[in-house]
Amino acid sequence: MKNLRTFVMALTVGALPLAATAADSQKIEYSAEGRLIPPENYRQWVFLTSSLDLNYNAPVPGAPPSDHSQLDNVFVDPAAYDVFVKTGTWPDKTIMVKENRDTASAGSISKSGKYQTAVVSLEFHVKDEAKFPGKWGFFGNGGSGPARFFPTTASCYSCHGDHGAVDTTFVQFYPAIAIGRSRLRG
Ligand code: HEC
């Protein structure tokens, strides 16, 4: 019995470094046409934020309020998150995902408020230094399947470049790491 327990422990301890190695190396996959293959397990990644109805344009005076809402969920791969927390920079091969979802208000037991429903689109921000002259590339799809590349003339690059707090990413909207960074800076 004692021997069996020792054997099982040896197996478990031996398996740990293997699992850590596999999780550490995030691989970016592209199709033959240069589209990004969405990472299958992004919903198990580190959750950075959920934002409701972010609007990048000043409200038009007198315009009726929109009756439709959208929520997003932002995730980053765990290996990149670990490096960011330690160094304050995103490593090569970082993948960030913005999952945009429809909302509903009345349903099940809910009478008001808003909850998330179907995925409307997925957007990706990937750091692949050898592939992109500006180090980062943007991709998007309609919710599933290979995501098409946005050329560097797309507004993604200018808005993120001009307003993203760290290395073209919007860390100022990700409370856990935004707060961590200001604490580090004192
Ligand atoms: C006018 C500004 C603006 C434009 C244009 C824009 N974004 Fe963003 N983006 C943001 C803001 C603000 C956030 C962070 C807040 C949030 O959405 O939760 C963000 C976050 C993201 C994220 C999460 C990772 C990160 O970089 O912080 C992805 C992925 C993303 N955007 C993709 C895109 C794509 C693809 C396009 C172009 C089709 C685009 N964005 C255009 C403002 C912009």
Q: Measured in angstroms, how far is the CA atom of residue 17 from the centroid of ligand 1?
A: 35
Alpha-carbon dihedral 182, 95, 118, 112, rounded to 10 degrees: 0
156 CA from centroid of ligand 1 (Å)? 7
Per-residue pLDDT at 62: 85
Query: Which two three-digit tokens encode residue 174?
Result: 């990700």
Give long-range contacts, CB 8 A cutoff, 24+ apart: 50-53: 50/74, 51/173, 52/103, 52/114
% residues pLDDT > 90 (the chain): 69
Buried b (16+ CB within 10 A) or exposed e, 34-47: ebbebbeebeebbe
72 CB near ligand 1 (under 6 Å): yes
Least confident of 14-28, 45-59, 117-131: 14-28
pLDDT value at 24 more than 80? no
pLDDT in tens, 88-106: 999 999 999 999 999 999 8
> Over the range 94-120, which residues count as b (16 or more CB within 10 Å of their CB) and which as e?
bbbbbbbbebeeeeeeeeeeeebeeee
| pLDDT over 50 at 21, yes or no | no
Distance between CA 101 and CA 121 in Å, rounded? 7
- What type of residue is 96? M
Pick from 156, 157, 173 the residue to mutate for probing ligand 1's pocket: most ligand atoms within 8 Å of its CB: 156
Question: What CA–CA distance (Å, rounded) separates 93 from 42?
Answer: 14
Nearest in space to 38 (alpha carbons), one of 105, 125, 118, 106: 125
Q: Which atom of ligand 1 is nearest to the CA of 139?
A: 35
- pLDDT per residue as tens digits for the range 28-48: 999 999 999 999 999 999 999
pLDDT of res. 184? 46
CB 136 within 8 A of CB 105: no
Side chain identity at 184, as an amino acid letter?
Answer: L
Residue 178 tokens, joined: 């935004």
End-to-end CA distance of the chain: 55
CA 25 to CA 79: how far, in whole Å? 7
Q: According to the model, what pLDDT value does residue 162 have?
A: 96
Q: Which of 26, 67, 38 is nearest to 141 (CA)?
A: 38
pLDDT bin (cut points 50, 70, 90) of residue 19 is: very low
Question: Which residue's alpha carbon is nearest to atom 14 within ligand 1?
Answer: 170
Which of 64-73, 158-167, 174-183 has the weakest average pLDDT? 174-183
